[in-house]
């Protein structure tokens, strides 16, 4: 059973991304995030937990909310993923490194380790090249960049997402 630690966003960002997922689904393109009612997020850690299914959030003590900019739509061609790509800011990179070092997972997906991590908010995945192109074209008029506020870290169990624990970041 896979688990992830995710950064979740403010309500306005959530609504924007959920509307994008809905548009994809309405256009008959598979959108697992919409179908399974995911919460919009950036995955920081993904893997397995062999012991207790919890995270000791002490390493995030004092973590404040912060903003990121989603700068463009991008594609992981080898995986058929269309995603929103945020700028890799110092705050986001530091947050990822803290999670990578302190998550306590028994095994972790290599793409989410610090050396290979490419932050992304998936819009659709497991698409054919034709579906990726069609999906991307739905957002030709979408205004980028846009700012999102990161508000919490969350331990989530998959394949059907269940939030097991949350650490809310401090408001400024």
pTM of this prediction?
A: 0.93
Q: Which of 34, 153, 32, 164 is nearest to 100 (CA)?
A: 153
CATH of residue 89: 3.90.1140.10
What is the span of the domain harbouring residue 120? 3-50+63-168
In a domain, 17, yes or no: yes
Asked, for residue 57, whether it belongs to a domain, the answer is no
Query: Is residue 145 reached through a cis peptide bond, with omega within 30 degrees of 0 on the bond before it?
Result: yes
Mean pLDDT within 129-134: 96
Is 80 exceeded by the pLDDT of residue 172?
no
- 160 pLDDT higher than 90: no
Domain-located, residue 68: yes
Judge whether 153 lies within some domain. Answer: yes
Q: Is residue 56 part of a domain?
A: no
Q: How far apart are the first and last CA of the chain?
A: 36
Q: Tell me, yes or no, whether 55 lies in a domain.
A: no
Q: Is residue 121 included in any domain, yes or no?
A: yes
Which tens digit of pLDDT belongs to each residue from 30-87? 999 999 999 999 999 999 998 888 889 999 999 999 999 999 999 999 999 999 999 9
Confidence of residue 14 (pLDDT cuts 50, 70, 90): very high
The total number of structural domains that make up the chain: 1
In a domain, 58, yes or no: no
């Amino acid at each position: 059973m896979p688990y992830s630690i995710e950064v979740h966003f403010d309500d306005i960002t959530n609504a924007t991304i959920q509307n994008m997922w809905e548009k994809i689904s309405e256009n008959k393109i598979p959108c697992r995030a919409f179908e399974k009612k995911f919460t919009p997020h950036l995955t920081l850690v993904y893997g397995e937990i062999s012991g207790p299914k919890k995270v000791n959030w002490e390493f995030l003590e004092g973590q404040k909310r912060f903003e990121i900019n989603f700068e463009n739509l991008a594609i992981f061609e080898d995986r058929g993923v269309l995603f929103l790509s945020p700028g890799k800011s110092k705050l986001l990179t530091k947050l990822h490194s803290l999670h990578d070092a302190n998550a306590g997972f028994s095994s972790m997906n290599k793409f989410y380790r610090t050396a290979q991590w490419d932050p992304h908010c998936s819009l659709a995945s497991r698409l054919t090249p034709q579906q990726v192109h069609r999906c991307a074209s739905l957002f030709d008029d979408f205004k980028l960049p846009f700012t999102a506020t990161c508000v919490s870290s969350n331990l989530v169990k998959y394949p059907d997402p269940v939030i097991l624990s949350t650490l809310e970041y401090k408001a400024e």
